[in-house]
Structure formats: C-alpha cells, structure tokens
Amino acid sequence: MTSINSSVKSAFAFVLFMLCQACRENLEESPFSSLSKDVVFKDEDGLNQATIGVYQAWTAPDFSDITSRFILAESGHRYATAGILGSGSDPYYRFGHVASSGAFEAVWARFYKIIFRANTVIDNAKQAVPAEEEEADPYLAEARFLRAYAYFNLVRLFGGVPLIVKEIKSLDDTELIFAPRATDAAVYEAIIADLTFAENNLPDSRGGAELGRVSAGTAKALLGKVYLTMAGKPLSRTENYQKAVDKLSELTGPENEEKYDFELLPDFADVFALSNERNREIVLSFGYFINSSNPNGNILPFNLFPSGLVNGDEQTNYGLTYAFYQQYEKTDTRRDFTLVERYVFRGTARAGAEPGDSLIYEPGTGNYINKRTKTPLGHNDFRYGMAYGKLAREPRPAGAAIQGYSADLIEMRFSDVLLCLTEALVETGKTTQALPLLNRVRARAKATALKLATAAELRTAIRKERRLELTGEFNTVLDIRRWGTLNEEIAAMSSDQIVDNNLVPYTPRLELYPIPQSQMDANPNLVQNAGW
C-alpha cells in the first residue's frame, strides 16, 4: 500500500493538524485529533493552525527519513566515504543501492505527506474566511510554498513524479491516488506557479511570534534556485540563468537585504548555534524541539557526530575523506567546524574512549586515534572518514531519547543565495559582477580573496566554494547532477573509500534515484526510471 493511500485512509476519517513546533520556539502544543474539515476550517484561527500543520509535517516524529535524505543528497561523490560504524551510508555512497533500498520509500513518504497536507489547506482555505476570501491568500501562499519545496526535492531526487495538486477526499479519487508520473518540466512549472503566488502574497520578512514561517524573501530565494536548477541538467533551459539573476538580485545589496531581513553573519559557527536559531542568515529552516510528542528531535547530530563529541553515544554513519579537509585553507573558519579533525571525548565511556581522552583523525590509517591508548576509536578493520560537525555541538536535552537533539534543520542559507547568484551571473557573462559576491562568502570564512578573470576559472571556483560552504546542507549530489559532472566524480573516487565493496562504475541511470519499489508495486501507472 502506498504512503499516499495510507494518508488518504487517515484523512478520509478525519483531518489531523498539530500545532507546529517548526514555527516558533514558544508555541504551545495543542494537537487536534479526529476533527472534521468543517471544524478545522470554520474560521481564520483554524486555518492558521491547519497551515502550521503543514510545517509540522516536515518534522513529524517518523524521523528516519531525515537521515535518509541527508544520505541521498550528500553521499555518492569523490569525497564521501564510510563513517566510524561503516554501514550507515551504505549502499548509497558507493552506488550499490537498488529500488527496494529503504531510504527511497522513507523520503518519498515524507514529501507526499507534506503535499497531502498542503493540498488540504489549499483546497479548503477560503471556506474559513468566506466573507473576505483574500484573507486566505497568505495562508494559501505558505501552503503552496511548502508544497513547492516538497516537489523541488522530489523532482531533483527522482525526476518526474506524480503531480498531485488537488486534495484527495476519498478512496474513490483514483485518478489522484494512482496518478502517473508527470514530466520533469511539468513538475517544475507547478513549482514555479506555487512560488510565484507565494512571493506575491507573503510579507517581505517575518519577526516576533511569526519568526520561522516563510516570507516573500524565502519564496524569492527558492524561486531563484529553481531557475538555476532548471538551467542545468537535465532540462538545460539556459535562458533560466537570466531569470535566476533577476530573481536573486532582488534579495542582494544593502537595501534589499534590509527589506527582506537577510544577511551573512560575521561568524560562520554562529549560524548554527542553538542560541541563535532563525538568525538573519537562515532563509529556510524547520524547527525541532524535544517534547512529549516528538522525543526524537533532529537525529542528524546522533547519526553524524563522532562518538563523544557531545554525549558519548553518537553513531557516525557517514564520513568525508581527508582530501576534502585539505580543500580548505588553514585560515578558513569553516574547515574545523564542517569536519571534526580532533576533539576531546565527552559523555559516557564508549569504544575504548573515556571522558577527557583526546581523539585525533589519522589520515594514514583512516581512523580516529585515541591519544591516551594509541588505539583507533571504534573499528580498526577498515578506513573510515572524518565526521561531519556542522551542527550545534550541544548535548541533547535532559530526558530526550539518545538520538534526540533540538537543533533546527537548516534547508537554505543566505550564503547559498549569494553563491547561486554568483553562478548565474557567470553563466550569463557577467563575471565582473560575480567575483565580488564569491569573495564576500570567502571573506566571512577568512579565506583568501580570489582574483579570477575567465568564466571557466570562476565556474571551477564557484563549484568548489559551494562544497566548502554548503556541504551537508542537502546540496552536494543535487549540484553534481545539475552540473552534469557525476561521471567525473565517480572517476575521482578510489577503492579505499569503499568498505568491503567494489565501486560501481558510472552509468547514466545514476543521474536519478529509482522510484521506490513499494510505489511501483502499488501504483500500476508508474514507470520506473531508465536502467532501474
């Protein structure tokens, strides 16, 4: 049974909307259960709570797909390798996955849950304010933005997917439940329509109790990134580079940054601090707050940090090669925050390490070495990578599950806006305008200013800079695909990155992930991606 079918069965009996933890930290949780749509959409307050329910779908407790989405977006390139536990990112980092691999179903289900909730709000919003229907427009804009972002993730991961933009009201809506795949182009056109509506019907920025909800600035930023993506592979609509320039330019420069409340924070690490969440560099994020309804929180610190970085029981299911660490200049403040080269063990003793031990990554052996015992941390029968550390390095809250951290899930930052604009400027021949933006990002990181001139040199520098700045933020593999450089990435990988397995050679099928086999089995109208 598909995840869509499961959602339909639940929604057919009742509409379930929960107050969203993602919107503001002090929001009291007061979940609805078994409420009919007539009750939920009886007034603007109900419409507001229903809209918040769409945000909540991004952070609902079935958390395994968060790690799965990280792995799908950040594994499978020249710098990806195993973590201390080895198998966490397997088989994805070595291209050994199949259509039945669990990550695909987990990610697919999350996104269609979001789409289902958004469609319910969109199709019922004006029922809540029938006398003044235009009052529904800001809520419609939020729901349409969140639907667009779900589809943007789906189309980049899987290609054309079922395009469901109406509420599924019953199990009789088979044309929606068993919708065929739309083309990539059709999905992108729906995304553009949603984001265009959003930017025209949302406030320029948010503050106070609304901080964390999307704004016109958020919509413009994502729309610019969508145009940039469409200009690359597989659509190759190069005229969209200029559309990306036009849209992203609306957000940059002192006046625009003030208008939309964006900035590049002076200190890179401050962007990710728990005490500074929803800061002015955050374009889009979803909040995780440990409480009775969501004890698991954000699982990424647990699955990515090296054991003992904050608690002692972290898992480190993913790694990055030492060669990636070497891509940073020594002065670059991003280097030792993005990757954990050395640290003091904290928390509960584990894997031969005790609180206070110094752990240092040794490139020669591909292991973290305990300075006190001179032995590797964890496994010593294979080489593993350096751990990812670009998250708030604070212990989980008292009473939380071992995987439960409160760190927000950052989806887009203003530095991404600047680098997207830089890239679009280069591709439209405006290299002199591009270089200052690139150096602005590097200056914040205390990296050397570049003095490049040609488009080819800038293109290479921008692609490297996106990795240095944005690795681990759901961009790496998706950038590689739109650049059409996956073949080069695989050619640059070496056998010592792969634990007990041979690297799969490049084939065109690797440009997309397969449609989950469970979906293929349940929906007779789906067609699998070529080669899968």
Question: Which phi and psi angles does 295 have, rounded to 5°?
Answer: -70, -15
Question: Which phi and psi angles does 133 have, rounded to 5°?
Answer: -60, -30
> Does residue 43 share a domain with residue 192?
yes
> Does residue 197 share a domain with residue 326?
no
- Other C-beta atoms closer than 10 Å to the C-beta of 61 total 9
Report the pLDDT value the prediction gives residue 143, as an integer from 0 to 100.
Answer: 98
- Other C-beta atoms closer than 10 Å to the C-beta of 62 total 11
> Does residue 44 share a domain with residue 191?
yes
Q: By the 8 A CB rule, do 206 and 213 touch?
A: yes
Report the pLDDT value the prediction gives residue 104, as an integer from 0 to 100.
Answer: 97
Cα–Cα distance measured from residue 194 to residue 183, given in angstroms and rounded to the nearest whole number: 17
3-state SS record for 239-254: CHHHHHHHHHHCCCCH
Report the pLDDT value the prediction gives residue 89, as an integer from 0 to 100.
Answer: 87
Is the residue at 152 inside a domain? yes
Q: By the 8 A CB rule, do 20 and 58 touch?
A: no
CA torsion angle for 78, 84, 87, 91 (degrees, to 10)?
0
> Does residue 515 share a domain with residue 406?
no
Report the pLDDT value the prediction gives residue 6, as an integer from 0 to 100.
Answer: 42
> Does residue 386 share a domain with residue 518?
no
Is the residue at 181 inside a domain? yes
Cα–Cα distance measured from residue 19 to residue 55, given in angstroms and rounded to the nearest whole number: 9
> Does residue 45 share a domain with residue 190?
yes
Count the residues in the chain: 532
Report the pLDDT value the prediction gives residue 28, as an integer from 0 to 100.
Answer: 35
Last residue of a domain, one of 410, 429, 449: 410
Report the pLDDT value the prediction gives residue 351, as an integer from 0 to 100.
Answer: 87
Helix axes 431-444, 455-470, angle to 10 degrees: 30
Domain of residue 116, CATH code? 1.25.40.890
Report the pLDDT value the prediction gives residue 380, as an integer from 0 to 100.
Answer: 81
Number of domains in the chain: 2
Is the residue at 339 inside a domain? yes
> Does residue 44 share a domain with residue 192?
yes
CA 109 to chain centre: 15
Cα–Cα distance measured from residue 420 to residue 412, given in angstroms and rounded to the nearest whole number: 11
- Other C-beta atoms closer than 10 Å to the C-beta of 243 total 20
Give the list of residues 6+ apart from residue 145 with CB closer than 8 angstroms, or none. Answer: 194, 195, 198, 202, 214, 218, 219, 222
Last residue of a domain, one of 363, 381, 410: 410
Report the pLDDT value the prediction gives residue 293, as an integer from 0 to 100.
Answer: 64
Last residue of a domain, one of 410, 429, 453: 410
Look up tokens 């989405």; give the residue. Answer: 69
Give the list of residues 6+ apart from residue 130 with CB closer than 8 angstroms, or none. Answer: none
Is the residue at 92 inside a domain? yes
Is the residue at 516 inside a domain? yes
Report the pLDDT value the prediction gives residue 211, as an integer from 0 to 100.
Answer: 95
Alpha-helical runs (H) found in 41-183: 44-57, 64-74, 102-128, 137-158, 174-177
* pLDDT tens sequence for the chain (532 residues): 334 444 333 333 333 333 232 333 333 334 444 467 888 999 999 999 999 999 999 887 767 789 999 999 999 999 999 999 877 788 999 999 999 999 999 999 999 999 999 999 999 999 999 988 899 999 999 999 999 999 999 999 999 999 999 999 999 999 999 999 999 999 999 999 999 999 999 999 999 999 999 999 999 999 999 999 999 999 999 999 999 999 999 999 999 999 999 999 999 999 999 999 999 999 999 988 787 666 778 899 999 999 999 999 999 999 999 999 999 999 999 999 999 999 999 999 988 999 999 999 999 999 999 999 999 998 788 899 999 999 999 998 888 888 889 899 999 999 999 999 999 999 999 999 999 999 999 999 999 999 988 999 999 999 999 999 999 999 999 999 999 999 999 999 998 899 877 888 999 999 999 999 999 999 999 999 999 9
Is the residue at 297 inside a domain? no
Cα–Cα distance measured from residue 225 to residue 243, given in angstroms and rounded to the nearest whole number: 10
> Does residue 400 share a domain with residue 516?
no
Is the residue at 30 inside a domain? no
Domain with 187 in it: 37-201+511-522
Is the residue at 106 inside a domain? yes
Through-space distance between the first and last CA atoms of the chain, rounded to whole angstroms? 21
Give the dihedral sign, CA 524/188/511/465: negative
- Other C-beta atoms closer than 10 Å to the C-beta of 38 total 11
Report the pLDDT value the prediction gives residue 62, as an integer from 0 to 100.
Answer: 67
pTM, entire model: 0.93
> Does residue 515 share a domain with residue 366?
no
Cα–Cα distance measured from residue 68 to residue 107, given in angstroms and rounded to the nearest whole number: 7
